[in-house]
């Protein structure tokens, strides 16, 4: 088992004829992902690098019934691309694009929320993220596939390369990963830590979760509060940005301490108070997971019972 995606997941790529889209569609296919083709308006009916191309997501849905759309559309058109995928009935949308205006994402998120309230199940991963991978199953994103190894640890993160760092440690130690979800570095995004933690809790293959957060917002705190009440599996957490000055954006649009809120120190304290094992040195994430799993003494008792 794994979460959200596996070997049978059917994928299309929006923006498949662009440089990024094209390169990564091939890399995903090479990894073993079922990439069935892609969408570029105006290029429907052509074949690109062996992939059939459709004019619209709706055409692609009719032709190949995909489960997932992976989006590489430039920032100015990305919000539209997400809505197009949702409108065509795609249930898992993975948006890699970095630099989407925040108010565009505000409107997209509102519309997805409305549709979900009306009974649909549309999940968005990203934007500004590396994507999602279930090792030996499906790689749907831009992460280097070979650093992963199928295993026992779920990974959820706001960062890209920092996630690779943690994954690499888990792989080297032989623990491996069940699924890794990059939820993205933007202030308004789709799936959040809390939702991904809930999925990992239900996944029998996942024995522990690594949660990599960073400065800005309160999502890590909210997720940890949720975990305290609803999770039995151990969570090992790291928060990047202890040395980041307030008021400055650290690369990611969402990585900013503002109005005295969202500092790494506050997040680490909150996470600890909710029972997350917080490491301050990212070099020891893997080792900490190994020790936690080995000790076996770790049995979280949900707060509602205790």
- In sequence order, what are the residues at sequence separation of 6 or more whose Cβ sits closer than 8 angstroms to the Cβ of residue 49? 22, 25, 26
Contacts to other proteins from residues 212-251, by CB under 8 A: 212, 214-219, 238, 240-245, 247-251
Instruction: Give kind and range of the element (H or E) at residue 222.
Output: helix 219-230
Phi, psi dihedrals of residue 128, rounded to the nearest 5°: 60, 55
Q: What is the dihedral of CA 6, 195, 169, 130, to 10 degrees?
A: 70
- 299: tokens are 């049995």
Task: Kindly tell me which of 68 and 188 has the beta carbon lying closer to other proteins.
Answer: 188
Residue 184 binds to other proteins (criterion: CB under 8 A):
no
**Cα(227)–Cα(119) distance, integer angstroms:** 25
Does residue 13 belong to the site contacting other proteins (CB under 8 A)? no
Please select the residue that binds other proteins; options are 273, 283, 301, 302, rule is CB under 8 A.
Answer: 283
Pairwise CA distance, residues 47 & 53, whole Å: 6
Given the complex with other proteins, which of 15 and 66 has the nearer CB atom? 15
CB of 288 to other proteins, least distance (A): 13
The answer to whether residue 121 forms part of the interface with other proteins (CB under 8 A) is no
The owner of tokens 């280097």 is 144
Q: Which stretch binds other proteins (CB under 8 A): 3-11, 41-49, 136-144, 193-201?
A: 136-144
**String of contacts with other proteins for each residue 72-101, x by CB under 8 A:** ---xx----------------------xxx
Tell me the catalytic residues: 252
CB of 303 to other proteins, least distance (A): 22
């Amino acid at each position: 088992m794994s979460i959200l995606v596996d070997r049978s997941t059917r994928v299309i790529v929006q923006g498949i004829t662009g440089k990024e889209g094209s390169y990564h569609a091939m890399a995903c296919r090479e990894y073993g992902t079922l990439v069935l083709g892609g969408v570029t308006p105006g290029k429907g009916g052509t074949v690109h690098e062996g992939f059939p191309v459709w004019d619209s997501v709706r055409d692609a849905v009719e032709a190949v019934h995909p489960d997932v759309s992976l989006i590489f559309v430039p920032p100015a058109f990305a919000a539209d691309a997400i809505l197009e995928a949702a409108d065509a009935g795609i249930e898992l949308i993975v948006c890699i694009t970095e630099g989407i205006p925040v108010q565009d994402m505000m409107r997209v998120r509102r519309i997805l929320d409305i549709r979900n309230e009306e009974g649909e199940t549309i999940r968005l991963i990203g934007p500004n993220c590396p994507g999602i991978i279930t090792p030996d199953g499906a790689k749907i994103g831009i992460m280097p596939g070979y650093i992963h190894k199928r295993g026992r640890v779920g990974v959820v993160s706001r960062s890209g390369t920092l996630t690779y760092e943690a994954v690499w440690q888990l792989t080297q130690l032989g623990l491996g990963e069940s699924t890794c979800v990059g939820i993205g570095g933007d202030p308004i995004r789709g799936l959040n830590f809390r939702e991904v933690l809930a999925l990992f809790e239900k996944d029998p293959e996942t024995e522990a979760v690594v949660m990599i957060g960073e400065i800005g917002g309160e999502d890590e705190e909210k997720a940890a509060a949720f975990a305290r009440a609803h999770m039995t599996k151990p969570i090992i957490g790291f928060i990047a940005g202890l040395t980041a000055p307030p008021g400055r954006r650290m690369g990611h649009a969402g990585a900013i301490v503002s109005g005295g809120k969202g500092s790494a120190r506050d997040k680490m304290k909150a996470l600890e108070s909710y029972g997350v094992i917080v490491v301050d040195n990212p070099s020891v994430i893997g080792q900490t997971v190994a020790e936690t799993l080995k000790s076996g003494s770790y049995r979280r008792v949900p707060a509602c019972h205790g």
